[in-house]
Amino acid sequence: MKRVNAQEIGSVLDVFFEQNPALADKLAETRLMDAWNTVLGSSVSRFTDKLYIRKRALYVKLTSSVLKSELMLCREQMIHKLNAHAGRNVIDNIILL
């Protein structure tokens, strides 16, 4: 049987996410939180207790106060790298707890 209307799965998903921007945003948020360990490495992820996004801000609960003060200095670079890894502008701020 010949397929008449065959499409690539990537183009179908692109159309789907264009029609459902809320789902695309949630997917990008999930990618960004997964990227935390990849972008910042295992040494930072070892001291990370909890991650969540609320109102375009990434909240990070850390168990090391020394690491927290170091990460505050490079907050803008982390925002840029995490957004680039997620593929869209997901967060505007990182709040370290």
Give the pLDDT of residue 94.
92
* CB neighbour class for 31 (10 Å; exposed up to 12, middle 13-18, buried from 19): middle
Task: Give mean pLDDT, residues 5-15.
Answer: 80
Contact 62, 71 (CB under 8 A): yes
- Closest by CA to 51, choosing from 95, 14, 4, is 95
Q: What is the mean pLDDT of the chain?
A: 86
The model's confidence at residue 61, banded by pLDDT at 50, 70 and 90, is very high
Give the pLDDT of residue 1.
61
pLDDT at residue 40 tops 80 = yes
